[in-house]
Structure 1
Amino acid sequence: MSTAAGKKIAIVTGSALGLGYELARQLIGKGWFVAGIDFNTARQEELSRTFGADEYRAFVGDISDEAFVKDSVAAIKEIGHIDLLINNAGQPSFKKPVDYEAADVDKCLKGLKGMILWSVETLKADGEQDLKIANVMSTAATRGNANESVYCATKWGEKGYTTSLKAAYKGTSVKVVGVYPGGIDTDFYHDSHDYVSLDKQHSFMSAAELAEVVLFNLVNDANLTVSDILIERNYR
């Protein structure tokens, strides 16, 4: 018998830390089984011990590695029908326009590539029906920011992909949601303190509160879908 028997199944990429962890933790608190995807081996092992096999299964790898994506989704499909995919994983690069290098571009593009690969494989696994896909991006997908040119470019690409998925599955049981949060107080910025200071970072949104708001809109019994979630912090 599946360890997820009787539970809805969610895939959360970038589940080890920050917003991804809070999304996974709160889904589990709501009775969901979570397949958590992350490259952080030590943290994944810790989460597996914390939650147990009937609540969480860890998959360790690169979200943009096609073979890893295919193998993981196939394994998750054996557990049961996948009800929710949250494409949350991504890496930032905040620099002046002239300071960007090819490695920075590749780093940012991993999020877009992963979003596409996980969406495609999950859609195929579910027979393109009864699935909700939530693509967590950033308010950087809605505007240009001076020291985020490459990051914004990839987020705008993610928005284009999300919008196109919505058009492709309009009127079907596949629902696509774009999530656009502002700054979050996590280690996401740990390599960019020349641009995002610790003081500024600590003024950003709580990952736990943000996850609560996102899941309030994503996971409910209402016969409706909130198609876009734009969340910004209060200034006080």
Structure 2
Amino acid sequence: MAQREGGRRIAIVTGSALGLGYELTRQLIEAGWFVAGIDFNEERQLELAKEFPADAYRAFIGDVSDEIFVKRSVGEIARIGHVDLLINNAGQPSFKTPTAYEAADVDKCLKGLKGMILWSVETLRACEERDLKIANVMSTAATRGNANESVYCATKWGEKGYTQSLKAAYKGTSVKIVGVYPGGIDTDFYRESHDYVSIDKQHTFMRPDELALVILFNLVNDANLTVSDILIERNYV
């Protein structure tokens, strides 16, 4: 196995700048991981580069669906050491009535699916298809149809199909594929859709730090076991 950064395990987290991605990154670093964080938000990435130690976090700034950026970034990360974990977390929301969708909305939502595929393929190549866990963070929208989320659901269902296909392709190998399906999260993800998801409703959603804790508890452990699907809903009180 390739030498790890400072003896640490190495993770790639896409969409690392804010929300769930940030919490996953922060908690992995606290657990002793080296994280390569991927995000297009340059301002936030520069902040994270100051927040986290240089030997624990490296920021990559770019579009997760840009193939050239993906290839270059994975190449640089692979030179640091063997990648143990890829978390495909980046995604683009779009919540509208069915007749309000336009081509630009479709392209926006498809960035998440395209990015998931590109990062998975390049990381698998860099790892020579061995000793790797890939966690694809989607949504409960991948498990059902929701009103005013038709295009968003379509892309999430596509991500689920891709995830299930990877599982079949790598069954019985040292590559493990995990599908993560969280319900609503209290972040700025819905900021452009408050006519559909009100601020009051949003604040009843799951906290990103608690959600990250549950995901990583199931995803990263020393047991010789793999939780293949993680479906997480908020408690109703």
TM-score (norm 2): 0.98
1:215 corresponds to: 216
Q: Give CA deviations for 1:134-191 in whole Å, capped at 9, x if unaligned.
A: 0000000000001100000000000000000000000000000000000000000001
Distance 2:216 2:186 in 1: 18
Structure 1, gaps ≥5 residues long: none
Q: How far off is 1:3 after superposition?
A: 8.9
Number of residue pairs the alignment of both structures matches: 235
Distance 1:72 1:156 in 2: 27
CA-atom RMSD in angstroms: 0.9
Runs of 4+ in 1 over 6 A off after TM superposition: none
1:81 corresponds to: 82
**Aligned 8 A contact 1:3 1:54 in 2:** no
Structure 2 residue matching 1:36: 3-state secondary structure: strand
Q: Give CA deviations for 1:45-104 in whole Å, capped at 9, x if unaligned.
A: 000011021000000000000000000000000100000000000010000000000000
Q: Does 1:111 align with 2:112?
A: yes
1:148 corresponds to: 149
Q: Within 5 A, what are the aligned runs for 1:1-236?
A: 4-236=5-237
Q: Give CA deviations for 1:100-123 in whole Å, capped at 9, x if unaligned.
A: 000000000000000000000000
Q: How far off is 1:4 after superposition?
A: 2.2
Distance 1:146 1:171 in 2: 38
Structure 1 residue matching 2:164: 3-state secondary structure: helix
Structure 2, gaps ≥5 residues long: none
Counterpart AA for 1:128 = E
Distance 2:156 2:111 in 1: 11
**Aligned 8 A contact 2:140 2:183 in 1:** yes
Distance 1:9 1:3 in 2: 7
TM-score (norm 1): 0.99
